[in-house]
Chains A and B, each alone.
Chain A
């Protein structure tokens, strides 16, 4: 059974820091992995999607990497800003004919001005 873990559960950093959020999954047989951002009480905003054949994806200050064989993905945020404060969720789609996502519990990020 696929399980997704995100560490740390919460993180507080001063503005301007570069930071790394971690996501690990127990079964390496995945089709893709997607990173999301969720503001309190809101829905999810898609940040980056990485296919299983890809190693990384970049969008602006965000870079996501994928090491499928070791069951890990990282989300790198450069030059963090207070507006980056949110919960960051990773989700994997198992490579078993299903289209559902299995989510981690998220990392709550607070960027201090």
Chain B
């Protein structure tokens, strides 16, 4: 078990371009979460999946953002027409529904810079 992985680790893009991030959760974890963190702030919830179903989305997830988890394993987060305000660390986490614990394990994050 290698933990939650995210790719890429860093992404620099020009305003208006589309970007896609990938998250691979801990195997057998059925819940997957996306958060966004700006400098000096705590992470803010974006969305989460149980298996392939997207069960909750934050109001932060504007129509330029879309997330998928097509086979209940890895997930992708796409941002269309990026804006400078999208610059942040995008964090993925996963958890296993077992014994009522729901501990979330986080990946290393993808740092997005929009120029």
Contact = CB atoms under 8 A, between A and B. Distances in A.
The finding on whether chains A and B are genuine partners in a shared complex, rather than unrelated, reads yes
A44 B50 CA distance: 21
B103 A46 contact: yes
A106 B43 CA distance: 10
Contact of B48 (A44, A89, A100): A100
B45 A100 contact: yes
Contacts of B109: 42-43
B44 interface: yes
A45 B106 contact: yes
B102 A44 contact: no
- For A4, A41, A42, A101, the residue with the greatest tally of chain B CB atoms inside 10 Å of its CB is A101
A4 B104 contact: no
A100 B60 CA distance: 13
Interface string A36-69: 1000011111100101000000000000000000
Interface of A: 4, 31-32, 34, 36, 41-46, 49, 51, 89, 91, 93, 98-106
23 contacts: A31-B102, A32-B101, A36-B106, A41-B111, A43-B91, A44-B91, A44-B93, A45-B106, A91-B104, A98-B56, A99-B31, A99-B33, A99-B48, A99-B50, A99-B56, A99-B102, A100-B33, A101-B35, A101-B45, A102-B45, A103-B42, A104-B42, A106-B42
Interface of B: 4, 6, 31, 33, 35, 40-45, 48, 50, 55-56, 58, 91, 93, 95, 100-109, 111
